[in-house]
Amino acid sequence: METTLPYGWYTDPDVLHREQERIFRPAWQYVGHTGRLPGAGSAVGKADDTQREDRGASGTARQPGYFATQVGRTPVVVTRDRDGALRAFVNVCRHRGFTIADGEQRRETLQCPYHAWTYGLDGRLRAAPRSEEEANFPQEELGLVPIAVDTWGPFVFAHAGGEPEPLAQALGSLPAQVAELGLDVDSLVFHSRWQAEIEANWKIVCENFLECYHCQVAHPGFSEVIDVSPEAYVLSADGRLTTQHGPTRTQIPTGPLPRSQFHFLWPNLEINIFPGEPNISIGPSYPLTPERTYRFLDYFFGPDVEQTWIDDLLAFDEQVGREDADLVAGVQRGVSSGALEHGVLMGRSEQLIGHFQALTAAALAD
Ligand code: FES
Ligand SMILES: [Fe+2]
């Protein structure tokens, strides 16, 4: 029988440090959506976007603006200039390291709150108070540090380490699979962000997502809707992308999507599509400490989906999320006890965990 990763890897700060360098730094990460950048007719409000409607994004008369986010541990700011150019920078002031941008703003410039150095949305340092008193102040060299940014539909990805492969290559067959299901991501409207801190190592959180062996036992509501039996529930792996397909048990769906798709893009991104009306949720899990993980999911729906359908789906998904949070916390208590060296994997039902663990181990190997 295949074994799990050593349980020490779920608690060891040195392993986490290696993971940050070897796994998260060289990966494209989902950081937010284009609706957070002002477009014609958008209503940009307060920085906290939980449960906030945001229907901007698709205008032609661009307005400048930015939103703050992070890529792994790196604070990042994504900007859109008046010319429509999308850019991303390390959100750290070149003066003495303050994180400059916060939330989302409709502004022409980024101004550091510490000593008021001011940067353009193209990253150039425009002004630094008293810089004229400095002999040879190297203003041209003190712009924000750029990082790679790209989009898939409304979804913005950034990459904070070295020379990235093209985003389209990193996404693999994901966009094609989503399109094949009948979901046009460009037509979707952002609805809200769900976020949580989970009491478990990030790998335990991901591994929980990668098998539905526990669904019948732990998610009675989910299993009523999705057929999770081994005959019906299909698992597949395609490079760094793994996918779970479950048909619906009942004829609930009024809507164009005939079945679910649950994707996972290694190392840490999940994408959920439920049957019925146009919907998707997308978001990463990030390690905060070896035993604590931050997760968020951005929910998008078709523009004409009724609020009651959305409310039902969110309530249903939150229930599943609570059930999973308890499960992974229970695993963390067990593995961090030090009582056992490792566990075992069920060859068929947990094959995607085997895939995840092989990619993870390969990235950490010398
Ligand atoms: S740290 Fe940003 S202006 Fe001083
Ligand atoms: Fe689950």
156-160, 162-166, 279-283: least confidently modelled range: 162-166
The pLDDT score that the predictor gives to residue 39 is 63
CATH of domain 172-364: 3.90.380.10
Dihedrals phi, psi of 32, to nearest 5 degrees: 150, -165
CATH of domain 29-163: 2.102.10.10
List strands edge to edge, sheet with 292-301: 189-198, 292-301, 279-289, 269-273, 261-265, 241-245, 234-238
Looking at the CA of 228, which ligand is closest?
Answer: 2
If we measure between CA atoms, which residue out of 360, 262, 276 comes closest to residue 320? 262
Whether 327 shows a pLDDT value over 90: the answer reads yes
Separation of CA 47 and ligand 1 centre (Å): 21
121-125, 143-147, 225-229: least confidently modelled range: 225-229
Q: Mean pLDDT across the stretch 170-194? A: 97
Integer-rounded Cα Rg, in Å, for the chain is: 22
Going by pLDDT thresholds of 50, 70 and 90, the confidence category of residue 193 is very high
**pLDDT of 239-298, one tens digit each?**
999 999 988 886 655 789 988 999 999 999 999 999 999 999 999 999 999 999 999 999
The pLDDT score that the predictor gives to residue 52 is 28
Separation of CA 195 and ligand 2 centre (Å): 16
Domain boundaries, the chain: 29-163, 172-364
Q: Which of 89, 95, 125, 130 to mutate to test the pocket of ligand 1 (most atoms within 8 A of CB)?
A: 95
Dihedrals phi, psi of 175, to nearest 5 degrees: -60, -40
Whether 62 shows a pLDDT value over 70: the answer reads no
**93 CB under 6 A from ligand 1?**
yes
Cβ within 8 Å of residue 296, ≥6 positions away: 193, 194, 195, 196, 283, 284
> How far is the CA of 204 from the CAs of 7, 20, 215, 273, 327, in angstroms?
10, 16, 16, 22, 10
Q: Which of 92, 114, 137 to mutate to test the pocket of ligand 1 (most atoms within 8 A of CB)?
A: 114
Whether 26 shows a pLDDT value over 60: the answer reads yes
Whether 60 shows a pLDDT value over 50: the answer reads no
Q: Per the structure block, which two tokens stand in for 350?
A: 């947990």
Query: In degrees, to the nearest 5, what angle opens at C-alpha 226 toward C-alphas 212 and 171?
Result: 65
Separation of CA 73 and ligand 1 centre (Å): 20
Q: What's the mean per-residue pLDDT of the chain?
A: 91
Task: Answer for the pair 9, 22: CB distance below 8 angstroms, yes or no.
Answer: no
Q: Mean pLDDT across the stretch 95-124? A: 97
Whether 83 shows a pLDDT value over 90: the answer reads no
Whether 58 shows a pLDDT value over 50: the answer reads no
DSSP string of 30-97, one letter each residue: EEEEGGGS--TT-----S--TT-----S--SS---EEEEEEETTEEEEEEE-TT--EEEEE-S-TTT-
**292 CB under 6 A from ligand 1?**
no
Looking at the CA of 322, which ligand is closest?
Answer: 2
Looking at the CA of 331, which ligand is closest?
Answer: 2
The pLDDT score that the predictor gives to residue 247 is 84
Tell which wins on pLDDT, 226 or 206.
206
Largest CA distance in the chain: 74
The pLDDT score that the predictor gives to residue 50 is 31
* Percent of the chain's residues with pLDDT above 90: 83
Q: Which of 89, 98, 100 to mutate to test the pocket of ligand 1 (most atoms within 8 A of CB)?
A: 98
Whether 49 shows a pLDDT value over 60: the answer reads no
Count CB atoms within 10 A of the CB of residue 107. 15
112 Cα nearest atom in ligand 1: 2
